[in-house]
Amino acid sequence: MSTTGSVPVSLAEIARIAGVGRAAVSNWRRRHDSFPTRIGGTDVSPQFSLAEVEQWLRDNGKLDSVAGRELLWPRFEVLGSRDESGLAIAEAAHRMRSPRARSSRVEVSPEAERLAAEAAKLGRNEGTRETFEFLLQRWLETHVRQLSTTPAPLAALMARIAFDVRVGGLDEELTVLDPACGTGHLVAAAVQEGASASGASQGVRVLACERDPALAALASARLAFVADDHDVRAEVATADSLRKDPFAEVRADVALCNPPFNERDWGYEELATDQRWTYGLPPRTEPELAWVQHLLAHLQPGGAAVVVLPPAVASRKAGRRIRGSLLRTGALRAVVALPPGSAQPHSVSLQLWILRAAPDGSGAASPGQDALLVDATRFARTGGREAGPGWEPLQAFVLSALQALDLPDAELPDGAVRVPLIDLLDDEVDVTPGRYTSASTEPSGLELSAVWKEVGSTLTDLARRAERLSELEFDGDRPQTTVGVGDLVKAGALSLCAGQQPPDGAVASGGHSVPLLTVADLLADGTPSGAVAVESAPVIAEKGDVVVAGVVRAFKAWVHEGPPTALGPQLHALRVDPAKLDAHFLAGCLRAPANGRQAGTHASSSSRVDIRRLQVLQLPLAEQAAYAEVFRSLRDFETRLEDAGGTGRRLVNDVSDLLAAGGLDV
């Protein structure tokens, strides 16, 4: 039988277990001879025995209230595959809810089954739902590059839209469908919204489908916990709902979906004569339009569906015939363009398509029918790198616009427009909102209130971070020596690669490609604006590499945390030897403004920075970790400060415009 002794943990994991920063753990290791000895890893990234660490923390009184969950998680990680650990978490949830359960509902290894039993025991002591949500969130964070989830604020917005748009009375039981449910974010939000809409006077029947067995098991576990608070009957099927629909005869009041994008093998050949394609056979290159029609086929008269789609679906030539049919029949009621960062992929301005089945089942649009197009892209965060848009003002704006969906004479906020069918049904049938809207910057009172609330929250967080940083103490008399990057390269402590301009014809928009980052992108918002074929990319920065911009006007250095990214001219990738250098320590030293000025080749802002002349402190590895922790805190503070600055400037401008226009209520 496996024990925690065979499970390795890193310094970062020990810090999470104890609820402290990594620098504190490094200090414990340096100051306490009794601290467990390293059992693996490297000097800069050592690994320790989980059992020994747990015992040491207990002996020294350094375990916090959630340490039990943190102690449990490393054991799920060492199970190996994503599926094995995910199924183990689902099995743990089943045992938490059914203490007497002995046989698994899902097939897992004996080790995973034993771990699930221990997790269930812990959950019953520390809170079953809290333990499950903790394990699920850690699992999603660990496999974020393999999974695409719907952020909770977006899921809540989609559910609210669907319930607002549907027409007809409330039945005794409300039916909600998600044919590609993932881990169940959308259906959980729909249950919450359904309970609010009906005042908990009716039950909710949830039907969900997911082809990935691990995701389906986790969605089922999530819905089981949701059922504790609401009258819910849930069924999660493991199947490909396009190819083999387990709910073919079901008609739903509300349908929500965030389907897989750009899949070519979605069943085009075997589904060519499927009865769901009442608006036209989806082309092989338009799987998203197959999902749209799948949702419509499952709606009751007056039922509503909201689906997340990539922006190209609104304008691609191959789909114009189906888009035209959706508009003529009144099935496509509105399109909302979301800000980049609303959901994966975060660099794309995704869209919400709002669909509704004809209330009388006739499938015909009323005379003078038009479509509502809403451009909400202006709610993207500016001036910072925090993920996601400003959710509160975004939600207020979108819901305000959609309130006028069935009120032809209602006033629309700036950024929303009704477009007559005669203007949409041209040769392109392009329903991209930005093509028809010209939003002004004047916000509504509801939007202003949401932005003020966001600013207040950001400033509170900034004050808390500033207080912690102000406690730092500095010893100016302590002599320090530095070493140049060039010398570190010669010593083998790191490797240095300079980015280059991709060869002609290498830039791509799809296929087997990676994002391309340039200096121009850094001077804008830092988001890669292009892509390049992998085989044509001269230099690709991997996760953990230090990236340096070698030009004075855009000088900066950071640890790359995203997907593999090709680097353009004047960008450099530094890959450290973890036995000699801490990447965050290196990035912190390199991005010091004085360092960049000293290494600049000329005085002008267009001059280049000689990367090899940049200086790095010479410190032992243990001290590097402490510096790295402070560098990260300082970088986080800077990011939040940029967020506050961008949001604050936008707020000041909006209020100034309102005042100058005589909008003050005196």
- Tell me the one-letter amino acid at 144: V
pLDDT at 526: 74
Peptide bond connecting 345 to the previous residue in cis, omega within 30 degrees of 0 = yes
Q: What is the CATH number of domain 152-438?
A: 3.40.50.150
Question: Percent of the chain, pLDDT > 90?
Answer: 34
pLDDT at 414: 86
pLDDT of residue 507 exceeding 60: no
pLDDT tens figures, 2-42: 345 468 888 878 887 887 777 778 888 888 889 988 888 77
pLDDT of residue 367 exceeding 50: no
Query: Stretch 267-289: mean pLDDT, rounded?
Result: 92
pLDDT of residue 256 exceeding 50: yes
pLDDT of residue 213 exceeding 80: yes
Q: Give the number of other CB atoms < 10 A from CB of residue 101.
A: 15
Rounded Cα distance between 248 and 220, Å, is: 20
pLDDT at 2: 39
Rounded Cα distance between 389 and 377, Å, is: 9
Average pLDDT of the chain, as a whole number: 83
pLDDT of residue 159 exceeding 90: yes
601: confidence class by pLDDT, cuts 50, 70, 90: low
CA 172 from chain centre, in angstroms, equals 36
pTM: 0.66
pLDDT tens figures, 552-568: 878 889 999 877 888 98
pLDDT of residue 152 exceeding 80: yes
CB 534 within 8 A of CB 456: no
Top pLDDT among 209 and 17 is at 209
Top pLDDT among 30 and 242 is at 242
Among the residue ranges 54-63, 360-369, 619-628, the one predicted with the least confidence is 360-369
Element (H, E) at 484: strand 482-484
430: confidence class by pLDDT, cuts 50, 70, 90: very high
Rounded Cα distance between 569 and 470, Å, is: 38
- The winner for highest mean pLDDT among 448-457, 591-600, 630-639, 642-651 is 630-639
Query: Stretch 367-389: mean pLDDT, rounded?
Result: 72
pLDDT of residue 78 exceeding 60: yes
pLDDT at 479: 66
Q: How far is CA 387 from CA 162, 254, 457, 567, 640, in A?
A: 25, 29, 16, 22, 11
Domains of the chain, by residue range, sit at 8-143, 152-438, 482-617
pLDDT of residue 112 exceeding 80: yes
Nearest Cα residue to 266 out of 288, 237, 298: 288
511: confidence class by pLDDT, cuts 50, 70, 90: very low
CATH 3.40.1050.10 given to domain 482-617: no
| Tally of CA atoms within 13 A in the half-sphere of 564 that contains its CB | 11
H-only helix segments in 479-528: 485-490, 519-523
pLDDT at 666: 66
pLDDT at 604: 45
pLDDT at 380: 82
pLDDT of residue 53 exceeding 50: yes
pLDDT of residue 288 exceeding 80: yes
3-state class (DSSP) for residue 516 = strand
CA 168, 171, 174, 176 torsion: positive or negative? negative
Sequence-ordered list of residues with C-beta below 8 angstroms from that of 497, at least 6 positions apart, any chain:
539, 567, 572, 573, 575
Intrachain domains 152-438 and 482-617 with the same fold: no
3-state secondary structure 177-228: EECCCCCCHHHHHHHHHHHHHHCCCCEEEEEEEECCHHHHHHHHHHHHHHCC
Among the residue ranges 86-100, 203-217, 297-311, the one predicted with the least confidence is 86-100
Q: Give the number of other CB atoms < 10 A from CB of residue 145.
A: 11
Which one-letter DSSP state was computed for residue 4? G
Query: Stretch 51-70: mean pLDDT, rounded?
Result: 77
pLDDT at 383: 46
